[in-house]
Amino acid sequence: NIPVELVESVILQSRQVLLGARRLRPRPHRDDKIVTGWNGLAISAFARAGQVLGDEECVQRAVMAAHFIKSRMYGNGRLRRNSYRHASGTRELGISNAEGFSPDYAYLIRGLIDLYEVTFDDQWLEWAVQLQDVFDSLFWDAVRGGYFDFMEGDQNILLRLKEDQDGTEPT
């Protein structure tokens, strides 16, 4: 039998106290890198959600993400692994020197195919086919089959492996 106004007032005051205490703590590191493969997963999810739900906004988000990857994280026929915020904290993105990994190609190709199936825009299917050709040339194991995780000659990798299980991706 407590009046609603009193409960709302107590909640508002509690939020203010909590916010004050939170401001005293150091802020956690903000991981705001943009990973090509994760964007491929997002493109797929938005395209499929737009198709199932009849939501054009979802489809447009997928299109915008695909344009972003193509314009900012793709060049000379190859994908880049990620981009990041400059150390200065500006909103401008820096592009990693790391070449795309096997999952970056696989997830983006899947996303582009899903986007094509929703929009019937040939550019997405054509790009997916181009990426698949590059993916095959960089990661395919012609001797034993399957795809390596990293391309041959990557100086940061000691042992070139193939993932034998379907692991989870961060959200």
Confidence bin at 37 (pLDDT 50/70/90): very high
Burial of 41 (0-12, 13-18, 19+ CB in 10 A): middle
**What dihedral angle (degrees, nearest 10) is formed by the CA atoms of 149, 141, 154, 167?**
10
pLDDT band at 112 (very low <50, low <70, confident <90, very high): very high
| pLDDT, average across residues 19-28 | 92
Q: Is the pLDDT of residue 68 over 70?
A: yes
152 closest CA partner among 86, 99, 83, 95: 99
- The token pair that represents 51 in the structure block: 């198709």
Percent of the chain with pLDDT over 70: 89
Q: Above 70 in pLDDT, residue 169?
A: no
Distance from C-alpha of 136 to C-alpha of 77, rounded to nearest angstrom: 13
- Predicted pLDDT of residue 91: 54
